[in-house]
Amino acid sequence: MNKIPVIAIDGSSSSGKSTLSKYISNYLKWHLLDSGIFYRSLALVLLENQIKYEPNSYEYEKKIASIALNLNITCIKKYDILITMLNNKNITNDINTPNISELASILATYPQVRYNLLKKQRNFRQYPGLIANGRDMGSVVFPDAKVKIFLDANIKIRAKRRILQLKKKGFFIRNQDIIKEIKKRDNRDTERLISPLKPTKNALIIDSSNISIEQIIDTTLQYICHRFNIKYKKNK
């Protein structure tokens, strides 16, 4: 039994899980895993090496699974920024583009890819504890996580957040295009055969559509502190 505590935060894209995880990780001073970076980094390697997507090809799955197995990814957290390094190169900005999001969600449907990334994600489980966010943190990667949180929000709100996020990075995308993109990714994430996005029975489900991030942080931290028997101090 692994005694290092884990808090799993799963949810759909732009549901607020990255912001929430970062805040909790700063509050508790625990490690942080943003598991989407693995699928995004794999997408980047394939695009950079001009490896063309070949649907329904066993050879393609074998090739990308082997690349996934050899990904050398490390993360550095500096205050509010999570820096992703691939072979010691900072790729944080390169993996946050719409192209990468699209390919990452396709690659995430391949069972061999997911299997080969499991150990790499579990290696982030270090003392004093880990906050892990993604789609299958509570269901597959860390099923023994003591606290599981599932975040959701309606698609219009998520689209607004995504547009703002992308705007900050210099991408200007129309609302209807973002909604289409999010719907496509939602379908892939929830309908894939392996590790689909869905809340586990014991997850605290939060709909973040109509509540501020401050309220979500407050509710979640109260719940976490209660579960871990820690005294909750607001604005620590």
165-224 residues in contact with ligand DC (CB under 6 A) are 185, 189
The phi, psi pair for 5, rounded to 5°, reads -70, 145
Q: Does 104 bind ligand DC (CB under 6 A)?
A: yes
DSSP for residue 15: S
36 annotated as belonging to a binding site for a ligand: no
13 annotated as belonging to a binding site for a ligand: yes
170 annotated as belonging to a binding site for a ligand: no
Nearer to ligand DC, 36 or 129 (CB): 36
Nearer to ligand DC, 135 or 226 (CB): 135
105 annotated as belonging to a binding site for a ligand: no
Helix (H) or strand (E) holding 27: helix 17-28
Pick the piece of the chain touching ligand DC (CB under 6 A) from 80-88, 101-109, 146-154, 219-227.
Answer: 101-109
Residue 45: CB partners within 8 Å, gap ≥ 6? Answer: 51, 67, 71, 86
36-75 residues in contact with ligand DC (CB under 6 A) are 36, 39-40
The amino acid that residue 126 corresponds to is Q
Provide, rounded to whole angstroms, the least separation between the CB of residue 181 and ligand DC: 10
How many angstroms separate the CA atoms of 15 and 208, rounded? 7
Number of residues this chain uses to bind ligand DC (CB under 6 A): 14
Helix (H, G, I), strand (E, B) or coil at 164: helix
Residues found in the chain = 236
Nearer to ligand DC, 118 or 225 (CB): 118
* Per-residue exposure over 60-89, b if at least 16 CB sit within 10 Å of its own CB, e if not: bbeebbebbeebebeeeeeeeebebbbeee
Q: Enumerate the H helices of 108-174 as residue ranges.
A: 111-122, 155-168
Nearer to ligand DC, 18 or 226 (CB): 18
Pick the piece of the chain touching ligand DC (CB under 6 A) from 34-42, 146-154, 169-177, 225-233.
Answer: 34-42
Nearer to ligand DC, 30 or 39 (CB): 39
Nearer to ligand DC, 23 or 39 (CB): 39
The amino acid that residue 79 corresponds to is Y
Provide, rounded to whole angstroms, the least separation between the CB of residue 210 and ligand DC: 22
How many angstroms separate the CA atoms of 63 and 129, rounded? 34
Angle at which helices 17-28 and 213-227 pack, to 10 degrees?
A: 50
Provide, rounded to whole angstroms, the least separation between the CB of residue 9 and ligand DC: 10
138 annotated as belonging to a binding site for a ligand: no
116-175 residues in contact with ligand DC (CB under 6 A) are 134-136
* Per-residue exposure over 165-180, b if at least 16 CB sit within 10 Å of its own CB, e if not: ebeeeeeeeeeeebbe
Residues annotated as binding site? 11-19
Residues annotated as binding site for ATP? 11-19
Binding site for ligand DC (CB under 6 A): 13, 35-36, 39-40, 101, 104-105, 108, 134-136, 185, 189
